[in-house]
Structure 1
Amino acid sequence: MADSLTLPHSRLRSGGGTPTILVIGGGASGNAVTVLLRRAGIAVDLIEAKPDWNATSGSGITLQGNALRVLRELGLWEQVSASGYAFGTLGITAPDGTVLHVAEDIRTGGDDLPATLGMQRPQLQRILIDAVRACGATVRLGTTAEALEQDADGVSVRFSDGTEGRYDLVIGADGLGSATRAAIGITDKPEPTGMAIWRIAAPRPEGVERTDLTYGGPAYIAGYTPTSENTIYAFVVEACRDRASIAPGAYADEMRRAAQGYGGFWPEIVEHITDSRKVNYTWFDRLLVDGSWHRGRVVLIGDAAHCCPPTIAQGAAMSLEDALVLAELLTSGREWDDELFQTYYERRTARVRTVVEASVQIGQWQLDGVRDADVPGLIGRTMNMLKELP
């Protein structure tokens, strides 16, 4: 394990010259690694396929302490804290809204950070975007990498706009459907777990001050998380269906139907599920690339290397930790070789595997109708492990 989260800002790889890196993908992991590498004086180009840099999409996100720890290392904690809603407990409720149990959340980021913070996903993305802009990286939006050609010294890249570039290293941070992963011959693909989730941002009902989860009832899981003083995001998990069979214009009706049978704060939340354009529907997927997360001078981070259902809210945290660990190694003064990239994989894989397997298991218990599953125990063991530095 690392002894410190402080990066050696002035140390570059040996061999002379200023190294250059291409980051493919401007999500959480791509943005984070860009900021950390620029801090060390490395030249970074970041390309993002979406022209709007995903600055407006998504409903909400739950960030636990280990994610907040990385955001603090990025120098963004004050902005994140001011934009989100921090809390330290998790409620378990019956379908009618009766509170069955309130558990103290484990402070995976240490005692000086909140256990959990909810925030609007677009707001987090905008904070990260501003940090990338401020760090001096070159950013090109609406751009993809069409071809990667490697040799012993680096990677030649042809872009979708017809231009070309030459880099010492390429970091694939292009998400679940990563074209970079496929381009370097890694054949692993995300696999659906059998569940899907409806999400929406909504006004915060008075009295909602933490995440509350209901297991069972009309759906497998229903819950909500405060994301600011005025907002929440609400979600309902059900068996996955053919997305093509659900007309986008019917999303609000479908989510309202799925949430209709829940009590407590849900009737007030349901009143605001009216605009299908604000409802998001996605399947739960799992992915864990085994063996290594690199081929030559191309390395994967975040959802390009692994993903899991949001059942313990660790997807973004794992991606941010990837960025931190990879940046630490790249700025350690070591050669950028197979040994370094294998070290990165070995530092990450056991931790990520634990999270992926626990996240999938919680959903599988629901799918299998296991009534005596030790969900609190599994979550507790996983969270205690995450208190250790990555």
Structure 2
Amino acid sequence: MNSARTVLVVGGGAAGNAITVLLRRAGLDVDLIEAKDDWNATAGSGITLQGNALRVLRELGVWKQVEASGYGFGSVGITAPDGTVLHAQEDIRSGGDDLPATVGMQRPRLQRILIDAVRASGARVRLGVKATTFDQDHGGVTVRFTDGSEGRYDLVVAADGLGSATRAAIGITAKPEPTGMAIWRAAAPRPEGLVRTDLAYGGPAHIAGYCPTGATTLYAYVVETNRDRASIPPETYADEMRRLASAYGGFWPEITEHITDPAQVNYTWFDRMLVEGSWHRGRVVLIGDAAHCCPPTLAQGAALSLEDAWVLAQMLTATEDWDDALLQAYYERRVARVRPVVEASVQIGQWQLDGVRDADVPGLMGSTMTMLRELP
């Protein structure tokens, strides 16, 4: 591999950070730009990482930090709204038997671990900078930036998320579409005895759940039919989430009493998107949420994004021919795995919206996670 080859990574989330580390390890010259000055270092409450995400984090060399910072567990409970456990089952270890089935952790902590890995890799990082134009020819891409500078690259990797400006700039017209659901999320102290994710279906919300994220922390979430965001003033976010959550029993009363600060409550619609046909135009290629997104009903958003980075890095570093055929092969390899996850994630939510009482949610979860045990 020609170590003089240059790559621009647009976006410093999980996918962008991961591919930066992997390409730098292979000796490539990598620039990373991130639009936010703080590199998203404080955003979000918690994240659920399934085994296939952990497998990639191990490849990045950060598994030990993740393991020490998060909370690993191996089962999921289904409860009635009053907290009665109706069913508990062992999670499938989609990353292999030598990794936990699931790790919950605080999202800012995961981002800090990945930021440190990027810094240690020697990549050049610029924060508060966006790409404005991508001028391509047969030899590469000339990129102009909002700070007035420009650079020449052999490849641009667009990891700039759901609303990817790069996706639009290269003429891919796909956009996220609402699924009809929305989620309230908040961090809270972890009650003693809460050692796994439990999901309650029914009640005033479609789903109420929580995930332990550390020795003393968790994040809680409540899923409802989406509402016009303009009808919910941000200063009422804590009241709205607490109103929904207060109908649930079990650990919920102890969790709910800590949902008091509206600034610490996040409200987000569920979206779906899968870019069809190819994830590249010339030498600009999409990864992560820029290429696909799905509701978090299977907790696979970050995992699929990390897998994209791992697979693309493998393919780029295995050949000198960074051509259309290579990038098309990347798409075909990934879409065969991503599509069933997107479809299953949407289906689980649609069953809730439609009030399907006999839906086989555990069965669909199980078959999808079994597929994900295979290497991407």
Give the alignment's Cα RMSD to 1 decimal. Answer: 0.6
Q: State the partner residue of 1:98.
A: 84
- In structure 2, the gaps of 5 or more residues are none
1:312 and 2:298 matched: yes
1:290 and 2:276 matched: yes
- Summarize deviations over 1:182-210 as a string: whole Å, max 9, x none: 00100000000000000001000011100
Distance 2:149 2:362 in 1: 52
Q: State the partner residue of 2:216.
A: 230
- Correspondence for 1:337 among 323, 342, 359: 323
Q: What amino acid does structure 2 have at the position aligned with 1:288?
A: L
Q: State the partner residue of 1:302.
A: 288
Distance 2:320 2:372 in 1: 27
- Correspondence for 2:310 among 303, 324, 327: 324
After TM superposition, the structure 1 = structure 2 runs for residues 65-104 of structure 1, keeping only pairs within 5 Å, are 65-104=51-90
After TM superposition, the structure 1 = structure 2 runs for residues 90-129 of structure 1, keeping only pairs within 5 Å, are 90-129=76-115
Deviates more, 1:16-25 or 1:145-154: 16-25
Distance 1:355 1:321 in 2: 13
Q: How many residues end up aligned between the 2 structures? A: 376
Alpha-carbon contact 1:334-1:340 (below 8 Å) kept: no
What SS does the corresponding residue of 1:21 show, helix, strand or coil? strand
What SS does the corresponding residue of 1:103 show, helix, strand or coil? strand
Distance 1:383 1:361 in 2: 15
Distance 1:253 1:380 in 2: 35
What SS does the corresponding residue of 1:267 show, helix, strand or coil? helix
- Summarize deviations over 1:289-330 as a string: whole Å, max 9, x none: 010000000000000000000001000000000000000000
Alpha-carbon contact 2:26-2:317 (below 8 Å) kept: yes
Distance 2:307 2:203 in 1: 35
Q: State the partner residue of 1:131.
A: 117
- Summarize deviations over 1:69-105 as a string: whole Å, max 9, x none: 0000000010000000000000000000000010000
After TM superposition, the structure 1 = structure 2 runs for residues 370-385 of structure 1, keeping only pairs within 5 Å, are 370-385=356-371
What SS does the corresponding residue of 2:304 show, helix, strand or coil? helix
Q: What amino acid does structure 2 have at the position aligned with 1:338?
A: D
Aligned-pair distance for 1:17? 6.0
Q: What amino acid does structure 2 have at the position aligned with 1:248?
A: P
After TM superposition, the structure 1 = structure 2 runs for residues 49-60 of structure 1, keeping only pairs within 5 Å, are 49-60=35-46
Distance 1:334 1:106 in 2: 37
Identity %: 78
Q: What amino acid does structure 2 have at the position aligned with 1:83?
A: S
- Correspondence for 2:178 among 173, 192, 205: 192
Alpha-carbon contact 2:53-2:303 (below 8 Å) kept: yes
- Correspondence for 1:241 among 224, 227, 230: 227
Alpha-carbon contact 2:181-2:270 (below 8 Å) kept: yes
- Summarize deviations over 1:333-356 as a string: whole Å, max 9, x none: 240000100110011001100100
Distance 2:232 2:358 in 1: 34
Distance 1:339 1:280 in 2: 41
- Correspondence for 2:199 among 178, 191, 213: 213
* TM-score (norm. length: structure 2): 0.99
Alpha-carbon contact 2:3-2:29 (below 8 Å) kept: no
Distance 1:149 1:189 in 2: 23
Alpha-carbon contact 1:50-1:143 (below 8 Å) kept: yes
Q: State the partner residue of 1:36.
A: 22
Q: What amino acid does structure 2 have at the position aligned with 1:304?
A: A
- Summarize deviations over 1:234-255 as a string: whole Å, max 9, x none: 0000011111121111100010
Q: State the partner residue of 1:386.
A: 372
- Correspondence for 1:24 among 10, 13, 18: 10
Q: State the partner residue of 2:153.
A: 167
1:347 and 2:312 matched: no
- Summarize deviations over 1:148-197 as a string: whole Å, max 9, x none: 11111100111011111110000000000000000010000000000000
Aligned-pair distance for 1:256? 0.5
What SS does the corresponding residue of 1:110 show, helix, strand or coil? coil
Distance 2:134 2:240 in 1: 42
Q: What amino acid does structure 2 have at the position aligned with 1:37?
A: L
Alpha-carbon contact 2:51-2:100 (below 8 Å) kept: yes
Q: What amino acid does structure 2 have at the position aligned with 1:45?
A: D
Q: What amino acid does structure 2 have at the position aligned with 1:346?
A: E
Alpha-carbon contact 2:135-2:142 (below 8 Å) kept: yes
Distance 1:25 1:284 in 2: 21
Distance 1:194 1:366 in 2: 10
Q: State the partner residue of 1:277.
A: 263
Distance 2:71 2:107 in 1: 12
Q: State the partner residue of 1:7.
A: none
Distance 1:225 1:158 in 2: 42
Q: What amino acid does structure 1 have at the position aligned with 2:17?
A: N
Alpha-carbon contact 2:189-2:217 (below 8 Å) kept: yes
What SS does the corresponding residue of 2:87 show, helix, strand or coil? strand
- Correspondence for 2:240 among 230, 235, 254: 254
Q: State the partner residue of 1:62.
A: 48
- Summarize deviations over 1:89-123 as a string: whole Å, max 9, x none: 00000000000010000000000000000000000
